[in-house]
Amino acid sequence: MQQIVDLQDHAEFQELNVAFLSIAVDSVEELASGARQYGTDIPLLTDADRRVAASYGVLRWAVATGEPGHTFVLVDEDGTIAWLRDYGAPENGGSMYVPVNELTQQIEEHLTE
């Protein structure tokens, strides 16, 4: 959840003017509790049956519990995936937090392509 808060509060990320939401397998109740605890108003959507994760192909990086890792998907105005990067899977470094400056730079690069 800290990743979401840091992105929400980062001026350079906000300047990208991208719609930002989080999709997780957590229940609605768990997501609501986390949003309250961390003070975020970013939309938090549940994907308990993992259909959204499957449709974006991110389950190939699922962690040991079968949950999607820490994956970012940038979808352009036409609904096409412009950039997709997984960080959470062991083969991708196993990171569950990515420096906001790094994400901002990568997203910005793919917004201009």
Whether 84 and 71 have beta carbons less than 8 Å apart is answered as yes
Top CATH class of 2-111 equals: alpha beta
CA distance 88 to 68: 8
**Predicted model pTM:** 0.87
What is the pLDDT, as a whole number, of residue 94? 87
Residue 113 has a pLDDT of 64
Chunked mean pLDDT (size 10), the chain, 113 residues: 93 94 95 95 94 94 86 91 90 90 94 75
| H or E stretch at 97 | none
Q: At what angle do helices 2-9 and 100-111 cross, to 10 degrees?
A: 60
Q: Where are the chain's structural domains? A: 2-111
DSSP secondary structure code for residue 25 in this structure: S
